[in-house]
Chain A
Amino acid sequence: MLLTLTTTAPAPAIPASDLGFLLHKHPGRAQSYPVAGGTAHVFYPEATDERCTVAVLLEVDPIALVRGRKGGGEGFALGAYVNDRPYAASSLLAVAMARVFRTAMSGRCDDRPELAAGPLPLTIRIPALPCAGGPGVAEQMFAPLGWRVELTTIPADPEFPQWGDSAYVDLELRGSMRLADALTHLYVLLPVLDNAQHYWVGPAEVDKLVRAGGSWLATHPHRDLITRRYLAHQGSLVRSAVDRLTELDGSEPSALDAEPSVADAPGTATTPPSLAVLRRQAVLDAIQKSGATRVLDLGCGEGALLAALLGNPAYAEIVGVDVSVRALERASRRLRMDPPSWDAAGDATGAPASASTGHPGRGRDRLRLFQSSLTYQDDRLAGFDAAVLMEVIEHVDPPRLRALERTVFGSARPGTVIVTTPNADYNIRYPDLDAGTHRHHDHRFEWTREEFRAWARNVAEANGYVVTFTPVGEDDPEVGPPTQLATFVLTSSPTTGSAA
């Protein structure tokens, strides 16, 4: 909520306090402006010929911030009330700054045009800057633009040293920079570092980004990260419901969607194709080999595999199932189902939520998405040639695996079941992964090859399947492949097996 910008005299003849002309704000007065989320105060802690500092203090009104939201969306998470908006330099501050320094940001100054056009020795301080992704990100963002970045980390709570540092840094930027450029840098990068937009992202945001970042964003080495974060995804009502439940429990809503602890491919993106791509291909190969035409993707997530299946006209019926409504919504968007559709109801008799598009050729009407849970029996899952559980079982608590087995192998009983899961033996090949930790924080277990095979053989035997194993990714002679894949083929007609 606080940002100060200091300049020293750019040339012997020019007083530092001329900054007031560039900003169109008189150094002798404190001024206040109503802005989105509260009131922006502009004042000068010092304004001499040698040195001039302007401060923007955004007084956030936390109550108005919440009440201003319509429809109850995100506003019904407790985080909306106890949050850092009133203190941290967030997107709100960026918006406030753009509002109070609008003219300066455009580079116009009729009184001192040459001063506005040239570089000034600037020091910017932001005492509480949220830095999503760690302090290094601030360096990555500002340094390529010509700033010298100095930052001090802030402990979460000095009384609880075990909590380590907070996500905030006390940031100081020094550089010789045109004022307008400095301001646009802040305008774009504050929300990016914050990574939590306070307003909905709409098409207008794209224009704003292009306008503000046009001159420098295109060549910024981290352009993609900046764009992605700036144009953050829009939430939904269901999302906030899930978040709310998560929060009730004293957990963090964001934990639901956290990034994996390690990148899928060892050695980052330098060794394409990534493990995710290899795994998908291995699964596709296995499906094709099974001769299946009606395929079930259990735990389809955002639909990466579904997209690949859609690309092959041999698959006559493709069904994506996930327990997360949010994932299904994204899959629906990603697969351009129009209108976005997924079947929330347990009503198996209802019309299938299939998508039809004007797409030429084999349409998307072969695809259906619906919500289900693998720990509940579901008649809608019966009758498929093949089912895929790609990176799914490790997200299920071990005591609940039996319910999953019953649902998939006992009740749905597809002709072929393809299961992939991480190979824990391989984890020592990830230098960044601490021993004993998992590749993803939501993994409830990661099995060694021996453990996976023992499980798979038991499941196969109990349910009348035979199982074979295929390595996915580089098959390390010592620790095996990063991903293990099992193909189960049904051998007996349905017995009472584990369903009885």
Chain B
Amino acid sequence: MTESPTQVSAGESGTAPRPLALPELSLVALVGVTGSGKSTFASRHFAPTEVLSSDTFRGLVSDDDNDQSATKDAFEALYFVAGRRLTRRRLTVVDATNVQPRDRQRLVELARAHDVLPVAIVLDVPERVCVARNQARPDRTFESHVVHRQHAQLRKSLKHLTREGFRRVHVLRGLAEIDAATVVRERLFTDLRHEPGPFDAIGDVHGCRSELESLLGMLGYVLTHDAQGQVVGAHHPEGRRAIFLGDLVDRGPDSPGVLRLAMGMVANGDAFVVPGNHENKLMRALRGSKVQISHGLAETLDQLDKEPPEFRSHVQEFIEGLVSHLVLDEGKLVVAHAGLKEAYHNRSSRRVREFAMYGDTTGETDEFGLPVRYPWANDYRGAAIVLYGHVPTPAPEWVNNTMCLDTGCVFGGRLTALRYPERELVSVPAEQVWYEPVKPFLTPDPSAAGDSAHPEQSHGSVTDAPRREPDVLDITDVLGRRVIETTHHGRVSIREENAAGALEVMSRFALDPRWLLYLPPTMAPCATSTRAELLEHPDEAFAAYRSDGVTQVICETKHMGSRAILLVCKDERVARERFGADDGRTGAIYTRTGRSFFDSDLTEQILARVREAAEAAGLWSELTTGWLLLDAELLPWSAKAEDLLRHQYAAVGAAARTALPAAVAALEQSAAAGVDVGELLDRTRSRVGNAEAYTQAYRRYCWPTDGLSGVSVAPFQLLATDGATYADRDHQWHLALADRLAQADPELIRTTPHQVVDVSDPASVESGVRWWESLTAAGGEGMVVKPLANLTRSRRGLVQPGIKVRGREYLRIIYGPDYTEPANLTRLRDRNLGRKRSLALREYALGLEALDRAARGEPLWRVHECVFGVLALESEPVDPRL
């Protein structure tokens, strides 16, 4: 409403210092004939990189600043650079004559395309001075008629500059004025980043003064009254300030009262107001423009008629002074009546203002004649919180870091505020239905969506709440090279080709991303053992933690199953409300790559059992949550990997058990015939034994299951619940919690045997080693050693969350049946663990980030970004045996 164009020209004073005000983000066109001193002026007032001079660009493209044949190319390059600067919010000065309307038009369009204000500074210097200056410059060959012609064009241009679209025009007449000028950069009207809050953002009031007073009271504001007893302000004793999200007026019983209160609060610094479409229309009506009197405007005008005329003009002035949107608290909060997409934040143009007041409309209408609106919030990916109103919605919900606070008070809904930064909702119910909606309020109707782009065209569709699908993920959320900022491990990069591979797996096999709050990280094994017979031994794991300064570690049995993540909702309602499940699912059980382990029937059976166990163990109330995310192992491995076991592991065994005895027989026959077959026979006999041992090793992972029977789950860590993560709880806490689940349902849930080791105490270490030996002697998979305290940092950064130490027999199914042959083992010791360790930490950090984001209730794409990142990192080529 503000920012009407101004043309400032020199007063009589002439030579007095003259501050030229510029919005700090603007595109400045210097206008002046050749020789008028534009470059000198620019270098005096702007940084060299801010000034794009046509001469410089001629030089850049042609090696000759004066080559007029290069003009077209030079300007193309100049516009390109200017565009990139404006995208990056850099003030940009175009130093060219700009005396022709065509050239200036191009700059105005460029400014509009980037939603910045175009500004013109005119240097009006007498023609003879310019001619003389040109003649003094040996590099200039202009004839004086060129200067003359440009001068004429400039004179003609002067009166049109504002009409051409320049929002500010400064005309400097004569050398003295030019010399005296100074440039003052002004904050954008929208830029209130220095205002830190706290704030209370209030949705559409629509003349509901009484409810507003109640709400302000609930929020802790103290109302002030004037002599007539009218409420004229409200102040919060703790200095909180209200933000009115627009549409203060129309439809309701007391629009003037609401305006009086809001205007008083603004005047006293107790509130900010952004304009709504209804204010905009009211302003035009007050100005006397012809507007269609509908949508409750009639009531407002009637009510205002009862007020003194000076109140009306005060209102008009107030609305005219409103700024389309505000950016607050270091850019972390943006408020606008109808919301605002990120590209428009803290920018200024007609389309920014229209978006802020009317939403993302295109001017098209659908088959009902209603304006077409795009659900900008679904696509919103900005870091700033955006609060808005405009479209009445039954209950405010976060959609990608945005929230609509219009809860239809005037239609009998509620008046709602959001406390910032606390993110708490406070609301009061409507005292009555003040304005009958055309369609019943609180009935979602996907075909219509809110107010119209053109107020004259609205047909009462304001009563329709839009269908919300904030779980829409965009391909740009995951594809291409990405960098994810993590709390615990800095920036984690995802390579483009890995994202491409992960996209296929995620799309073809993974569950609905709404369930996938987390994927587990890979885990590095211990450094290679120096013992002759072994690749891995606990000594190396203990030593690793010792060198990281971790003393207390916990050794947990490595279950012979598959890693599984269990998301268990307390009931269908939680599944529906928190995870958007509308098909009766109450959670998910998924693999390391996000695939469901079982069909939905069996999944639900297991979920039901875990849910009951959690109930019996009292976890729901103890953790005050509606859902649990558990890190677990699911057994047997064959339940998931039967095909792999059969077609790969068993196949190798079958081939080995057939071929090797035949080879031994042939060799024995040959040896019996007196041929010297050397060590080949012994070696082959030994391999027969290896093949048997290998077969035994994989068989331990297989047992038949039938539905639930035979399946067991070993949870070992609680990852997250509603609003909380648990990476900082020590592992004994986690295992104790798991034990309580196991106690409640010992048939399905098994415990994780464990032992705490003090790595600085040789006796304790010895006992840990013996424990591992006993686990693996029987063919067990081994153990995982973790810092007892869980999430741990050392001087070097994040410490590995776990190090696996696998058993000798188990490793046959990793390194091949014959890996224990000395000739093989010697070579296998040379394993490169660096990449695996680095990968493990990056994935761990991404996993924690996903959990934190999910627990904070961040938008799905923010969680999915991390989860997808884990999957993409997993496709990095790293020795899979590690």
Contacts and interface: CB of A to CB of B under 8 A. Distances in A.
A278 to B, nearest CB: 26
Bin chain A's interface residue count: 35 or more
A248 B512 contact: no
Interface string A442-456: 100000000000000
B591 A249 contact: yes
A241 B877 contact: yes
B762 interface: no
A493 B498 CA distance: 38
B422 interface: no
A255 B650 contact: no
B658 A156 contact: no
Nearest to A48: B673
Contact of B877 (A30, A41, A72, A252): A72
B652 A87 contact: yes
A368 to B, nearest CB: 15
Interface string A240-264: 1110111111111001000000000
B659 A88 contact: yes
B775 interface: no
A41 B478 CA distance: 53
B60 interface: no
Contact of A242 (B501, B644, B654, B876): B501
Nearest to A406: B472
A1 B659 contact: yes
B648 interface: yes
B816 A62 contact: yes
B699 A346 contact: no
A253 to B, nearest CB: 9
A167 interface: yes
A155 B654 contact: yes
Contacts of A242: 501, 504-505, 875
Contacts of B817: 82
A247 B880 contact: yes
Interface in B678-710: 678, 680, 683-684, 691, 695, 699, 702, 704
A45 interface: yes
Given A241-B875, A373-B475, A495 B372 contact: yes
Given A83-B652, A241-B497, A399 B512 contact: yes
B501 A245 contact: yes
Interface stretch (B116-124, B130-138, B187-195, B662-670): B662-670
A344 B684 CA distance: 49
Given A245-B593, A245-B875, A47 B673 contact: yes
B85 interface: no
Majority SS of interface residues in chain B?
Answer: helix
Interface in B221-249: none
Interface string B635-653: 0010011011011111111
Nearest to B669: A45
Given A128-B655, A348-B476, A500-B466, A495 B501 contact: no
A400 B580 CA distance: 13
Nearest to B585: A399
Contacts of B695: 157
A476 interface: no
B730 to A, nearest CB: 29
Contacts of A86: 656, 816, 818
For this complex, into which size category does the number of interface residues on chain B fall? 35 or more
Contacts of A139: none
Given A46-B669, A156-B651, A30 B592 contact: no
Interface stretch (A158-166, A286-294, A359-367): A158-166
Interface in B436-454: 446-449
Interface string A483-500: 000000000111111111
B469 interface: yes
Contact of A157 (B498, B507, B650): B650
Contacts of B704: 162
Interface string A377-405: 11110000000000000010101100100
B251 to A, nearest CB: 23
B871 interface: yes
Interface string A51-70: 00101010100110000000
B659 to A, nearest CB: 4
A241 B501 contact: yes
A399 B372 CA distance: 29
Contact of B699 (A4, A29, A159, A374): A159
A28 B675 contact: yes
B651 A167 contact: yes
B501 A325 contact: yes
A380 B667 CA distance: 66
Nearest to A156: B650
Given A45-B670, A78-B880, A79-B648, A251 B641 contact: yes
A238 B500 contact: yes
A114 interface: no
A345 B480 contact: yes
B558 to A, nearest CB: 16
A331 interface: no
A130 B698 CA distance: 21
Nearest to A71: B877
Contacts of A62: 816, 818, 824
B644 A371 contact: no
Residue picked from B375, B474, B497, B877, most chain A C-beta under 10 Å: B877
A499 B871 CA distance: 28
Interface of B: 364-367, 372-375, 378-379, 446-449, 466-467, 469, 472-481, 496-498, 500-509, 511-512, 562, 583, 585, 591-593, 595, 637, 640-641, 643-644, 646-656, 658-660, 662-663, 665-667, 669-670, 673-678, 680, 683-684, 691, 695, 699, 702, 704, 813-818, 824, 827-828, 871, 874-881
25 contacts: A29-B676, A55-B663, A55-B666, A55-B667, A57-B680, A87-B691, A127-B662, A128-B659, A155-B654, A162-B704, A168-B651, A244-B875, A245-B502, A248-B593, A248-B874, A249-B591, A250-B637, A250-B641, A251-B644, A255-B643, A344-B479, A376-B475, A377-B379, A500-B449, A500-B467
Given A45-B669, A249-B591, A325-B501, 7 more contacts: A29-B675, A41-B677, A59-B680, A88-B655, A157-B654, A241-B877, A500-B373
The 6 nearest A-B residue pairs measured at CB: A250-B641, A346-B479, A241-B501, A45-B669, A87-B655, A373-B507
